[in-house]
Amino acid sequence: MDLTIDPDELATCVSCGLCLPHCPTFRATGEEALSPRGRIAAMRSVQLDGAPADDSFVEFMSSCVQCRGCEPACPSGVPFGHLMEATRSALATQGRIAPWWQRAGFRVLAHHRLLLAGSTVLAAGQRLRLVPSRLGLSRLPLRRPKALRGTGTDVWLFTGCVMDAWLRDVHVATARVLQGIGVTYAVPGAGGGCCGALHVHAGLTAETERLARNVMASMPGDAPIVVNSAGCGAALKDYGHLLGTDEAKAFAARVLDVHEFVARRADRLTPVRRLAPVIVQDPCHLRHVQRTHLAVRTVLGRVADVVELDDDGLCCGAGGAYSALEPELAGQIRERKLASIARAGGAEGERVVASANPGCAMHLQAVGVEVRHPMQLVAEALG
């Protein structure tokens, strides 16, 4: 089976194993097949040696969180994310992954009014205990603040789909911080909702490309595009690779994680009070993919002392839809993160955890950890 992986990229792995300690699924299971090296060996067997893409192969690929913690650890620069995306795309095309119900659920993400209505129904279902806890959802809001309205044209503030439906208060806080540093923002036009981050993880490449074109059309011009969800920011920054056009590359170059943007103007933040120390949790798509996690410390440091975790940025197990699709492994991976949070003094909620990604926040909140977005904390300190 042709996995459509670039053979040059597939050849870069020298099987040294330095990535293994940074892989959450290997750490949780100890199985070589569930490590980056094991997965690359399986990809080579299928693509180059004609081995069958059997159920075991599908399981090895499906169990990957796509955290890309293996990438910065790799001395050969193996682009593991691209290998996995190509593999999943080939498997999805053959109907081996991403079942119909997952595809139907993802389709809703591109229809924002439907998503808002469905989210309210889901929130009501949670109150009536009709939503299975194995879905791992944190408590969704029954009511949400009014949708953001633009204040000017300095930047585009990307509002997304799930982020806007479930965590709109983070957008309100982000708007407050932008106001605090004297920056005006516009919100995306029609079609600028879903960025396709979950779709690309599921191997739904054609749908991701369609969404990417819509998002690009919704934020024309040259203004920077500021994103407050690490997963969405990583997806938008990858549009150049995804679509391969000059237009997409120029668009991707305008994208900044909000902490990157605010950190460059951090001296303009004038908090009215200092907050209690905050534990910072690095979303994988900020630390391993965008590699902009230090900016969170610059920004948070203006309003509170930052407490570091001691797990070297190991994934928390959220992985977009991963926690719902692979709940057992996601739970095992989360246990390590919870232990690290406990060592940092956040086990009983005595210290707040700051996370810049909705998936991580909800995955940790689902087991009672108090998590807030860094923008919410900064906005609170601004008063």
What's the farthest any 2 CA atoms get from each other in the chain? 64
Close Cβ partners of 310 (under 8 Å, ≥ 6 residues apart) = 340, 343, 344
Q: Does residue 70 bind ligand SF4 (CB under 6 A)?
A: yes
Q: For 33, phi and psi rounded to 5 degrees? A: -65, -20
Please, which residue, 13 or 123, has the CB nearer to ligand SF4? 13
Select from 8, 7, 2 the least CA-distant residue to 91: 2
Among 57, 80, 156, 166, binds ligand SF4 (CB under 6 A): 80
At closest approach, how far in Å is the CB of 362 from ligand SF4? Answer: 19
Site for ligand SF4 in 258-297 (CB under 6 A): none
Please, which residue, 41 or 217, has the CB nearer to ligand SF4? 41
Helices (H) and strands (E) in the chain, counts: 22, 8
Mark the segment that binds ligand SF4 (CB under 6 A) among 60-68, 101-109, 192-200, 355-363. 60-68
Please, which residue, 57 or 251, has the CB nearer to ligand SF4? 57
At closest approach, how far in Å is the CB of 333 from ligand SF4? Answer: 9
Q: Does residue 68 bind ligand SF4 (CB under 6 A)?
A: yes
Q: Does residue 337 bind ligand SF4 (CB under 6 A)?
A: no
**Burial letters 121-153, b for 16+ CB under 10 A, else e:** ebbeebeeeebeeeebbbebeeebeeebeeeee
Q: Please, is 16 exposed, middle or buried when counting C-beta atoms within 10 Å of its C-beta (0-12, 13-18, 19+)?
A: exposed
Q: Does residue 137 bind ligand SF4 (CB under 6 A)?
A: no
Site string for ligand SF4, 28-47 (x = CB under 6 A): --------xx-xx-------
Encoded tokens for 212:
């990417």
Q: Describe the strand order of the beta sheet including 225-227 as a list of residue ranges.
A: 185-186, 155-158, 225-227, 255-257
Spatial contact of 368 and 294, defined as CB atoms under 8 Å apart: no
Helices 100-109, 112-127: axis angle to 10 degrees equals: 110
Q: Does residue 65 bind ligand SF4 (CB under 6 A)?
A: yes
Please, which residue, 65 or 226, has the CB nearer to ligand SF4? 65
Instruction: Kindly list the distances between the CA atom of residue 98 and the CA atoms of 25, 171, 294, in Å, as whole numbers in the listed order.
Output: 20, 30, 34
At closest approach, how far in Å is the CB of 275 from ligand SF4? Answer: 32
Select from 196, 167, 216 the least CA-distant residue to 356: 167
Mark the segment that binds ligand SF4 (CB under 6 A) among 7-15, 44-52, 89-97, 345-353. 7-15
Site for ligand SF4 in 10-29 (CB under 6 A): 13-19, 22-25
Distance CA 366, CA 138 (A): 5
Mark the segment that binds ligand SF4 (CB under 6 A) among 75-83, 159-167, 175-183, 232-240. 75-83
Please, which residue, 34 or 377, has the CB nearer to ligand SF4? 34
| Residues near ligand SF4 (CB under 6 A), total | 27
Q: Does residue 124 bind ligand SF4 (CB under 6 A)?
A: no
Distance CA 223, CA 61 (A): 38
Please, which residue, 3 or 64, has the CB nearer to ligand SF4? 64
Please, which residue, 80 or 239, has the CB nearer to ligand SF4? 80
Q: Does residue 362 bind ligand SF4 (CB under 6 A)?
A: no
Encoded tokens for 202:
């599921």
Select from 343, 350, 354 the least CA-distant residue to 311: 343
Please, which residue, 36 or 193, has the CB nearer to ligand SF4? 36
Residues at the interface with ligand SF4 (CB under 6 A): 13-19, 22-25, 36-37, 39-40, 64-70, 73-74, 76, 78, 80
